[in-house]
Amino acid sequence: MRRWVVRAVWLVLVGCAQDPKDGGADSSGDRDSDGVPDGADCDPDEPAVRPGGAGVGDGLDNNCNGQIDELFDLD
């Protein structure tokens, strides 16, 4: 009986664990699946924005350098 209880508790705990890619609270996750952990990503919810990303003229700071579309003249 005791083994059954231990296994049941283990299954509940394993089944309730949050996956960081699913928006869990783990700061080492990658919510936007861009390959950069959320703690190092300047916009962890936008996959087009990450350190080292390419500026593409979309109005976003794609490379996390603090400048928006620095290579494009949007006038």
49-74 average pLDDT score: 83
Instruction: Specify whether the CB–CB gap between 49 and 61 falls below 8 A.
Output: yes
pLDDT digits (tens, 9 = 90+) for 8-56: 666 666 555 555 545 544 556 999 999 999 999 999 999 999 998 888 8
The pLDDT of residue 53: 87
Beta-carbon contacts of residue 24 (< 8 Å; ≥ 6 apart): 18
The pLDDT of residue 25: 47
Which of 36, 28, 39, 37 lies closest to 53, judged by CA?
36
**Res 6 pLDDT > 90:** no
In whole angstroms, what is the distance from residue 20 CA to residue 41 CA?
14
**Res 72 pLDDT > 60:** yes
For residue 27, give its domain range.
Answer: 1-75
The number of domains in the chain is 1
> In sequence order, what DSSP letters do the residues of 3-21 get, joined into one string?
HHHHHHHHHHHHHHPPPGG
The pLDDT of residue 51: 92
- The residue with greater pLDDT, 22 or 61, is 61
